[in-house]
Structure 1
Amino acid sequence: MDFFQIELMKLKRQKIWILVLIGPVVGTFLGSFNYTSSLDILSKSGTNEWYQLWTQVTFFYGLFLLPILSGIYAIFLCRTDHLTGGWKQLFSMPVKREKIFVSKLVLLVLLLLFTQITQCLLFVIVGKLLGLQDEMNLVFFFKAVINGWIAIFPIATFQLILAIKTKSFMLSLSLNVLFTFFSLVMMVVNLEQYYPWALPSIAMASPTETGLTHSLSYFYALVFTLSLILYIWGNRTINKSEKIL
């Protein structure tokens, strides 16, 4: 049995799959509530109804819930190892320790992909229930979901490193929430395009919002560079076992 299957079994026991549903449900509920509450104002703008609803949903989900969920997933991926002495067991296996980090990271980004897909499906269902009449641009929403997922890679990698390095659930969660809400500060000073925690929301922004002001090439280059740097850091961290045990 490889490390990925081991990590998968750990998560099944912790029932983390519930969070994959709860996060998008909360984001969709808050966004749709805000949409219906402001319907009189929004209806006068003449903007596509699907874009209006998406804007409200992604404000809560993309800016706050997705980054926070990413950190919680990372904590759960390392929680069992911290509590049961699992690091010693993993490090005693005759394989490279980098494989441990890669397995956890792959599972983390897959969880985030499932979360994105769940969010999109709930969004469509709620939109249909609300009786939105405008045409739905499926190509845009597909790109938004994928770009939002890609944008979370640097954050997820950093959060996994943090979860590995500390046993404290509350410390990891508190730092994650702090960095997430700091996105609002970055928006005030117009630096959100360069702040990783704000990138998922920007990458998923509707055409009626101020999304990525730079090209997609710049966006992918920034995400790839940050992810690569953090990935190298993560591999070095996992090799310094004395900092974890």
Structure 2
Amino acid sequence: MFWKIVRSEWLKFRKSNIWLLLFVSPALAFLLGILQGYEDSPVQWITLYTTMISIHALLFMPLLTGIFSAFVCRYEHQGGGWKQLLALPVSRAQVFLGKGFLVILFLAITQLLFFISFYSIGLIKGFSSSFPTEIVWRGILGGWLACFPLAALQLWISSAWASFAAPLALNVILTLPNILVANSAKYGPWYPWAQPFLIMIPKEGDIGSLYVSTETLLYVILGSFIIFLFCGFTYFQKKAV
């Protein structure tokens, strides 16, 4: 039944125009990257990668996480959709986790498209430096995983608020401080909206990222994901429809 819910949510996604948002961040990051010059850089791939994630991971990944989370709850908030859905022979756990799975899948597709955009620029410009496979893929995967706590939090909020616009507005308001918060070694790692950028940005020696240590990965990102998922799951189990 879980996979039937996932397929049902996927059909809603395909029939809407929201799928176009999968291409927005990779496309804009591509434009930002292709317009820069890298001839004088000894590490062309890393310079390009850092340039592109400055808009992709810092701004669009948190925004898209909120949009996708609000979208998967949108239909159920309209016309008593929650009552109709939960009247079916499905558990609330399957519904909540199915919607969460779709959000995570959308973010994975976005990351894959970002990589394609990034690699395409290197081919177009004919980079001569060696491709940093481990650095890039660690950043791509890490950035995706760093969205998990935010996805759990946004899904919790979106399932609670009937308004489609309210969770989006809140997400935008909390994403905008990223530019300042991400530069703070003290507060940045604890701020869910900044974590994708902090994970994806490479640093000299490539051990982790700019401010995020292994301890932060384990205790902050994983810990906050578990907390947000548990709170959202518990709320949804008791949600009045």
TM over 0.5: yes
Question: Aligned to 2:182, what secondary structure does the other structure show?
Answer: helix
Q: Give the Å deviation of 1:178.
A: 1.2
Q: Residue type matched to 1:94 in 2?
A: P
Q: Tell me the amino acid that sits aligned with residue 131 of structure 1.
A: G
Is contact 2:69-2:154 (8 Å) kept? Answer: yes
Alpha-carbon distance between aligned partners in 2 of 1:93 and 1:124, rounded to the nearest angstrom: 45
Query: Partners in 2 of 1:76 and 1:175 — Cα distance?
Result: 15
- Corresponding residue for 1:67? 62
Give the equivalent residue in structure 1 for 2:24: 22
Q: What is the match of residue 7 of structure 1?
A: 9
Counterpart position of 1:58: 53
Give the letter for the 2:25 counterpart: G
Q: How many residues align?
A: 236
Matched, 1:81 2:76: yes
Partner of 2:194: 198
Q: Which runs of 5+ in 1 are unaligned?
A: none
Q: How far apart, in 2, do the equivalents of 1:147 and 1:10 lie?
A: 28
Q: Is the 8 A contact 1:71 1:173 kept in 2?
A: yes
Residues in 2 aligned to 1:48 and 1:85: alpha-carbon distance in whole angstroms: 55
1:5 deviates by 1.7
What residue number does 2:214 align with?
Answer: 216
Aligned with 1:145 (options 140, 144, 165): 140
Aligned residue runs from structure 1 range 86-105, under 5 A: 86-105=81-100
> Structure 1: how far apart are the matches of 2:182 and 2:210?
13
User: Is 1:49 aligned to 2:47, yes or no?
Assistant: no
**Alignment of 1:112 onto 2:114:** no
Once the two structures are TM-superposed, the CA of residue 239 in structure 1 deviates from its matched residue by 2.1
1:4-47 CA deviation, whole Å, 9 max, x = no partner? 122112111114322112221112212433x33xx58xx2xx44
After superposition, the Cα gap between the structure-2 partners of 1:61 and 1:103, relative to the gap in structure 1 and judged at 3 Å, is same
Worse-matched range after superposition: 142-151 or 218-227: 218-227
Q: What secondary structure, in the 3-state scheme, does the structure 2 residue paired with 1:211 have? A: coil
Larger deviation: 206-215 or 109-118?
206-215
Q: How far off its partner does 1:212 sit?
A: 4.0
Q: By percentage of residues, which structure has more helix?
A: 1
Deviation of the 1:214 alpha carbon: 4.6
Contact 1:108 1:156 in 2 (8 A): yes
- Percentage of pairs with the same residue: 28
Residue pair 1:204, 1:211 contacting (<8 A) in 2 also = yes
Q: Is this contact kept in 1: 2:146–2:221, CA < 8 A? A: yes
CA distance in 1, matches of 2:232, 2:184: 30
Give the direction of change, closer, same or farther, for the CA distance of 1:84–1:10 in structure 2 (3 Å limit). farther
- 1:228 Cα deviation from its structure 2 partner: 0.7
CA contact under 8 A between 1:28 and 1:61: conserved in structure 2? no
> Distance in 2 between the 1:143 and 1:206 partners?
9
State TM-score, norm by structure 2.
0.90
Post-superposition Cα deviations, 1:176-218, rounded to whole Å, max 9, x if no partner, equal 1111112223235432122111111111112359934353353
Please give the alpha-carbon distance, in whole angstroms, between the structure 1 residues aligned to 2:176 and 2:42: 28
User: Which sections of structure 2, spanning at least 5 residues, go unmatched?
Assistant: none
Partner Cα separation in structure 2 for residue 145 and residue 90 of structure 1: 35
TM-score (norm 1): 0.88
The residue number in structure 1 matching 2:153 is: 158
CA RMSD of aligned residues (A): 2.0
- Equivalent of 2:173, from 178, 183, 197? 178
Question: C-alpha separation between the residues in 2 aligned to 1:207 and 1:187?
Answer: 14
